[in-house]
Chains A and B, each alone.
Chain A
Amino acid sequence: MEPQLGLIEQSFHVRYSDGVREALDELGDSFLITDPSISGHPIVFASSAFLKIFGYSKDQVIGKNGRMFQGPKTNRRSVLEIREAIRQEKAIQISLLNYRKDGTPFWMLFHMCPVFAKEDGRVVHFLGVQVPILRKSGVVRNPSKLCEDGTGFLGCCRREVTSDSVMEVGRGLALDYLLNSDDRELEIDQPCEASELEKRKAATAISNILSVLAHYSASEVTGRLVCGKACCLSGMGLGASINISFGRIKQSFVLTDPHLHDMPIVYASDAFLKLTGYARHEVLGRNCRFLSGLDTVSATQFQIAECIRNERPCTVHILNYRKDKTSFWNFLHISPVRNATGKVAYFVGVQISSSCNSQGKQGLSPAMEHLSVVGAVKVAVRSLSIGASTS
């Protein structure tokens, strides 16, 4: 167990600077952080709110796997879904029946998301937030919406049986569980749907936690940046809507971020992956130069670098190499792309391979194809950071 504990300590220590644990606890949300790179995928951090709700002490939780909070009536299907999300390194939001230390079950909204390292796109941690699902008691069968401000009348769901003590559930909920001594029957077989309010609280919590992690990892001490969202390293992090917008663009293109070290790829279209033969995780987080090879003219690469430096578009023919080492002539166009702030947020690179039909089924010339992708990307990125509260 000793070496394991050492690894667990390191898990946080190498990534985040001192003070991160205190800062996380200050958030007041209930959550766990786990490390998939350590055998058994153990918990490396549990917030105080979490420990309070579940009734455990820190030592009883750190180093264990999250399944310890599941029990006989936890839906197997939901567990499998979570497992699949972990495997695919995707986020998930799902209602789940968990058990406290004293064996009492309760429904909660479980929102999990992967935390990526910016430098290489690997998942370094998983973050799981728990928001207890509360319902009006009594005859109402359907989970109706709660009072949206979260205060005031709230009964205890008949399906929940509480311990004798009154518990505080997370920040902002300010609710007390009511003793329900008359009814000990556990009606927990039916899934409990979370309200919009609860979903929002979960999402907000995730966002806040990620901000703290990002803040504490940006220091010199660790030198590594983590982020759960903006890196879009799995293609999901830029936000669902922009991924949908990008998904409509059928041509080969990538988006690179000039504000990150070595201007890595942060989005790659399916067509790009097909053209180059790489899998998505093999390209995200890398600079495009990996496409160049022995016979690539360095002057061309220099030309590209110059244009990028001057924030100007450029068009080149460059010899590139696929994963299987075969080469192709890449009719490449690069253009700066601005977001709602009006400043350059990304560069888009559009690839047309001369080995495929250039005048395509589309009827647009290759040069026009370049521009249509640039236009579509510009429209999509224009609304990034347009919201008042986005970073």
Chain B
Amino acid sequence: MLTIKKVPTVVSNYQEDGDDNNNAAGIRTEDATQSQARGCARNCLGKCCLPVSKLPLYAFKKNDYPSKNNAVFPSDDGVSPISFLNNLLLAQWEDRMRRGLFRYDVTSCETKVIPGRYGFIAQLNEGRHLKKRPTEFRIDQVLQPFDENKFNFTKVGQEEVLFRFESNDDDKSRFFSSYAVDICSISPSVVAINVSPIEYGHVLLIPRVLDCLPQRIDHESFLLALYFAKEAADPFLRVGYNSLGAFATINHLHFQAYYLSVTFPIEKAPTRRIMARKGLQGADLVVSELLDYPVRGLVFEGGCVLRDLSDAVASSCIYLQQNNVPFNVLIADCGRKIFLLPQCYAEKQALGEVSLEVLETQVNPAVWEISGHMVLKRRKDYDDASEDYAWKLLSEVSLSGVRFESVKACVSEAAGLQVEVDTYNIDQKECIYDSEAPQVASHMQRDCPAIH
């Protein structure tokens, strides 16, 4: 059994209560079940409290049918109004800020783009990680059973929940500012705050919270995460996932999301198309591999309906899970682009193969770090942060070329894709500024008045 020691990130104010069996109000769980009908007085997300609760509910319209022009996503002119879901999320998050629910104000943390080809983003955050004793995490098993004695999201207080996010059968998305939770008909999926935010708007998307699913991808849950990205319709709100062994802290199924209005390095990396599934009217589902990036990974795009794209990724993740390969997933560009990144850093760390210099910065390369956004604890590390350092760290994360090749082959099978024969078809983007990722006015123009 391989383990590493790390200080777990505190994502909820109810998480670090010393003894995991107790809760913040000091009421023991046995008493809680007895007072089921009235709630356990903690107003949590457990079966004790939810049935008597009302939460805001955003019910999105599921779109399973190809649209007229086969476009899964609305055409993005970049200037369309902020979506309702986005406004809701921003308002609720800011509200929790005012209520003092976060451990610190992340907007007070210095952040910068490191000069270099890719523009890695560094943040100095001395308060994110507690001066706690590190806990042992088992890292050699991507699939681990749910343990109700450990912290999980049913123990979270409802004030940390912003709203429910579920599908409806209607012809359009709807919002209910206060909706009774009927747990008999549905297991609610919720969006909650991360009280140790990496950036503004950092939330956790928890599918079917009462089902207590362990941290592993399934088709329905991944589709929910993809719809979340799509409905928010903001290229700067990205959704991420860390498997166990790839720095997930809590073994209760959850995705993360936050806002940062710069292009991530991984979004600038050139790609080469390697697999596809032909679709109607050119709506091919395409998988590319990352080029010229320290971490090897796959990029999924396209498909006739959102479900196609979602299932392809989910099936690939399931394959990795079952074969004990830790991985991270980044959903970018409003759900149009999904990065799948198998990794082996934890294994290397457990085997003592990571350089001390890199270990000392105490950066655990989860999805955000791999995408190019790094939170640093020490002023010295922040001031010295360089593209070199980022590259060095992320190179330790990547699977080797050989292992990655075998992952590619298995993904194509798992996701039902044809490997493109013409592997010499190098569709490299010529310049990182040409990337289709959301563009802030490119660096050279940043100081200039807008060009007419």
A-side interface residues toward B, CB under 8 Å? Answer: 81, 85, 90-94, 111, 113-114, 199-200, 203-204, 206-207, 228-229, 236-237, 239-241, 243-245, 247-250, 313, 337-338, 340-342, 362-365, 368-372, 374-376, 378-380, 382-383, 386-391
Across the interface, do A372 and B94 meet the contact criterion of CB distance under 8 Å?
Answer: yes
Q: Within 8 Å CB of A340, what residues of B?
A: 110-112
Closest to A231 in B: B449
Q: For A391, list chain B residues within 8 Å (CB).
A: 447
For this complex, 19 residue pairs linking A to B, each with C-beta atoms less than 8 Å apart, are A91-B450, A113-B448, A237-B450, A239-B450, A249-B82, A250-B82, A362-B87, A364-B88, A368-B88, A371-B95, A372-B87, A379-B259, A382-B200, A382-B260, A383-B261, A383-B440, A387-B446, A390-B446, A391-B447
Asked if B236 is an interface residue, CB under 8 A from chain A, the answer is yes
Contact B200 A236 (CB under 8 A): no
Inter-chain contact A364/B87, CB cutoff 8 Å? yes
The answer, among A92, A249, A390, for a CB contact under 8 Å with B451, is: A92
Q: Are A368 and B81 in contact (CB under 8 A)?
A: no
Q: Are B94 and A236 interface neighbours, CB within 8 A?
A: no
Contact yes or no, B112 A379, CB < 8 A: no
Q: Is the CB of B88 within 8 A of A372?
A: yes
Q: Please measure, in the bound complex, the distance between the C-alpha atom of A206 and the C-alpha atom of B452, giving whole angstroms.
A: 14
CA–CA, A201 and B79, complex, Å = 29
Pick from B78, B80, B448: contact of A203, CB under 8 Å: B448
- B319 within 8 Å of A by Cβ? no
A342-B110, A386-B121 known; A90+B450 contact, CB < 8 A: yes
**A341 CA / B236 CA spacing, docked (Å):** 19
Flag whether B409 is at the interface (Cβ < 8 A).
Answer: no
Do B261 and A229 have beta carbons less than 8 Å apart?
A: no
Instruction: Note all chain B residues with C-beta closer than 8 A to A365.
Output: 177
Q: What residues of A have a CB within 8 angstroms of the CB of B439 in the complex? A: 241
A243-B450, A382-B260 known; A368 vs B95 contact (CB < 8 Å): yes
CB atoms of A239 and B93 under 8 A apart? no
B291 within 8 A of A: no
Residues of B within 8 A of A362 (CB): 84, 87
What is the bound-complex CA distance between A258 and B355, given in angstroms? 46
Residues of B near A94 (CB, < 8 A) are: 452
Q: Which residues of A contact B261 (CB under 8 A)?
A: 241, 245, 379-380, 382-383
B303 at the A/B interface (Cβ < 8 Å)? no
| Contact with B441, one of A204, A240, A342, A364 (Cβ below 8 angstroms) | A240
**Closest chain A residue to B115, Cβ basis:** A388
Closest CB of chain B to A314's CB: distance in Å?
11
Residues of B in contact (CB 8 Å), total 50
Query: B262's closest neighbor in chain A, by CB?
Result: A383
Q: A341-B110, A342-B109, A382-B261 are in contact. Are A229 and B94 (CB under 8 A)?
A: no
Counting CB contacts under 8 A, is B98 at the interface?
Answer: yes
Q: What does the 1/0 interface line of B112-148 toward A look like (CB < 8 Å)?
A: 1111000001000000000000000000000000000
Q: How far is the CB of A263 from chain B (nearest CB, A)?
A: 20
Taken together as a complex, chains A and B put the C-alpha atoms of A247 and B79 apart, in Å, by 7
A386 and B450 contact, CB distance less than 8 A: no
Give A380 to B79 CA distance when docked, in angstroms: 14
Contacts of A81 in B (CB 8 A): 452
Q: Which of A207, A342, A389 has the most CB of B within 10 A?
A: A342
Contacts of B115 in A (CB 8 A): 388-389
| A199-B87 Cα distance, complex, nearest whole Å | 37
Q: Are A338 and B108 in contact (CB under 8 A)?
A: yes
A386 near B259 with CB under 8 A, answer no
Q: Using a CB–CB distance below 8 Å, which chain B residues touch chain A?
A: 78-82, 84, 86-95, 98, 107-115, 121, 175, 177, 199-201, 236, 259-262, 439-441, 443-452
Given contacts A362-B84, A382-B261, whether A240 and B444 have CB atoms under 8 Å apart is: no
**Set of chain B residues within 8 Å of A228, measured between Cβ atoms:** 449
Q: CB distance A239 to B441 under 8 Å?
A: yes
Say yes or no: A91 contacts B451, CB within 8 Å: yes
Say yes or no: B447 contacts A386, CB within 8 Å: no
**Contact across chains for A91 and B107 when beta carbons are under 8 A apart:** no
Q: Are B91 and A372 in contact (CB under 8 A)?
A: yes
Query: Is the beta-carbon distance between A379 and B449 smaller than 8 angstroms?
Result: no
Complex Cα spacing A113 to B451, Å: 9
A337: chain B residues within 8 A (beta carbon): 107
Measured CB to CB, the closest approach of chain A to B40, in angstroms, equals: 29
Give the chain B neighbours of A374 by CB distance below 8 A.
90, 94
Give chain A nearest CB distance to B269 CB in angstroms.
19
Determine the chain A residues whose CB is within 8 A of the CB of B449 once the complex forms.
90-91, 113-114, 206, 228-229, 236-237
Chain B residues near A382 (CB, 8 Å)? 107, 111, 199-200, 259-261
Cβ–Cβ contact B94 & A371, under 8 A: yes
In the complex, the 3 A-B pairs of residues with the closest C-beta atoms, listed nearest first: A375-B90, A92-B452, A372-B91
**Do A342 and B107 touch across chains, with their CB atoms under 8 A apart?**
yes
Which chain B residue lies CB-closest to A243? Answer: B450
- Complex CA–CA separation, A241 to B439 (angstroms): 8
User: How far is A53 from B187 in the complex, measured between Cα atoms in Å?
Assistant: 74
Q: How far is the CB of A194 from chain B (nearest CB, A)?
A: 12
Name the one of A206, A376, A388 contacting B82, with C-beta atoms under 8 angstroms.
A376
Select which of A240, A371, A380 is within 8 A of B91 by beta carbon: A371
User: When A383-B440, A388-B112 are in contact, do A313 and B98 touch as well, CB less than 8 Å?
Assistant: yes
Beyond A200-B444, A245-B261, A379-B90, is A90–B452 a contact (Cβ under 8 Å)? yes
Q: Nearest Cβ in chain B — how far from A281, in angstroms? A: 15
Q: Which residue of A lies closest to B93 (CB)?
A: A375
Considering the chains assembled together, what is the distance between the CA atoms of A53 and B95 in angstroms? 59
Partner of B444, one of A204, A236, A338: A204
A241 CA / B261 CA spacing, docked (Å)? 9
A338–B448 contact, CB under 8 A?
no
A330 to chain B, nearest CB (A): 19
| B447–A207 touching, CB < 8 Å | yes
The docked-state distance in angstroms from the alpha carbon of A386 to that of B109 is 12
A369 touching B78 in the complex, CB below 8 Å, given contacts A229-B449, A240-B450, A378-B200: no
Q: A338-B108, A388-B113 are known contacts. Are A207 and B448 too (CB-CB below 8 A)?
A: yes
B90 touches A371 (CB 8 A): yes
Look across to chain B and name the residue whose beta carbon is closest to the beta carbon of A115: B449
The listed residue (B98, B440, B451) touching A241 by CB distance below 8 A is B440
A369 touches B175 (CB 8 A): no
Contacts of B441 in A (CB 8 A): 239-241
A369 to B114 Cα, complex, angstroms:
35
Q: Which residues of A contact B177 (CB under 8 A)?
A: 363-365
Complex-state Cα separation, A338 to B452, whole angstroms: 28
Known: A92-B451, A369-B91, A382-B200. A244 touches B112 (CB 8 A): no
In the complex, residue of chain A having the shortest beta-carbon distance to the beta carbon of B431: A196
Given contacts A91-B451, A390-B447, contact A338 B107 (CB under 8 A): yes
In contact, A203 and B444 (Cβ under 8 angstroms): yes
Question: In the bound complex, what is the Cα–Cα distance between A192 and B446 (angstroms)?
Answer: 25
